[in-house]
């Protein structure tokens, strides 16, 4: 693959990376959001849920529109909508006294944008490259960027929230703008012939045929994937709350208060584990004697 085409692919890979940041970046910030807005744990979880539910519902529609009008013509407005959603949530958090409902509206807009951005990247790679080896390489890089986003997002979200708790909302539009520029100037896709386009009736008919033929497998994959994702996110949230609780207990016992609760939580997550191991080793050595 040439350097130019590789840079095209890197530009496309920025989309799933940024969409992953848009959701997972807020997970470690949920306890802080809950405290700042005086809301329940259930209400804070809606900040994540609304984004995901809206995206899941709109993905098939976005896929059909991309087939009709072109990948870039759907991806670029979708990134713009996602960025607007981040601005709405961030501005509400910054200026309003009761911003929770407006934050959810902004998150819903981000979900609309996510539906028309990240999922369309996969067929876009198929349009850009014809050789099977290049398509495989492209899809591999896309999945790598998605995984990297999952690893980076909690760290980046914690760092930004330590500065200002609602800063992750404002950071997301900047990332979207960067991706828009990359897609506009560096991603080139072949134009589809009119004969390749299909009507809405044909699209719905093909979807029905797929579910009629492989509906059991598709349903099983969706259910299993949903359960696993729920378990992962739920355990991650519980971990954040558990660590924050331990840090809060230590602060109360020492009579101190931290200006950087999230960074202290991450610090204690690792350092307390090492301290517990050292205590256990000393205890075992004492028993051995």
At 84-125, the pLDDT tens digits run 999 999 999 999 999 999 999 999 999 999 999 988 998 888
pTM of the model: 0.76
Look at 148 and 192; give whichever has higher pLDDT.
148
Separation of alpha carbons 54 and 39, rounded Å? 22
Separation of alpha carbons 17 and 10, rounded Å? 10
Block residue for tokens 């529109």: 65
The pLDDT score that the predictor gives to residue 193 is 60
Residue 174 has pLDDT above 90, yes or no: yes
CB contact at 8 A, 86 and 173: yes
* Token pair in block for residue 238: 């519980």
- Average pLDDT of the chain to the nearest whole number: 80
């Amino acid at each position: 693959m040439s350097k130019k085409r590789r840079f095209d692919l890197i530009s496309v890979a920025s989309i799933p990376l940024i969409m992953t940041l848009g959701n997972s970046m807020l997970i470690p910030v949920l306890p802080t959001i809950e405290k700042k807005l005086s809301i329940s744990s259930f209400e804070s979880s809606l900040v994540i849920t609304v984004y995901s539910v809206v995206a899941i519902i709109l993905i098939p529609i976005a896929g059909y529109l991309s087939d009709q009008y072109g990948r870039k013509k759907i991806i670029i407005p979708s990134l713009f909508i996602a960025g607007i959603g981040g601005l709405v949530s961030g501005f509400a958090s910054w200026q309003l006294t009761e911003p929770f409902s407006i934050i959810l509206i902004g998150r819903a807009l981000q979900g609309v944008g996510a539906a028309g951005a990240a999922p369309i990247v996969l067929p876009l790679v198929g349009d850009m490259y014809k050789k099977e080896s290049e398509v495989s390489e492209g899809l591999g890089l896309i999945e790598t960027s998605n995984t990297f986003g999952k690893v980076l997002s909690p760290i980046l979200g914690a760092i930004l929230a330590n500065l200002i708790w609602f800063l992750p909302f404002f950071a997301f539009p900047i990332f979207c703008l960067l991706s828009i520029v990359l897609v506009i100037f560096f991603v080139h896709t072949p134009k589809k012939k009119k004969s390749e386009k299909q009507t809405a009736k044909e699209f719905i008919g093909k979807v029905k045929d797929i579910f009629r033929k492989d509906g059991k497998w598709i349903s099983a994959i969706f259910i299993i994937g949903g359960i696993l994702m729920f378990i992962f996110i739920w355990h991650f949230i519980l971990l954040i709350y558990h660590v924050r609780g331990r840090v809060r207990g230590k602060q109360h016992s020492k009579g101190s208060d931290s200006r950087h609760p999230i960074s202290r939580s991450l610090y204690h997550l690792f350092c307390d584990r090492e301290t517990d191991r050292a205590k256990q080793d000393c205890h075992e050595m004492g028993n051995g004697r």
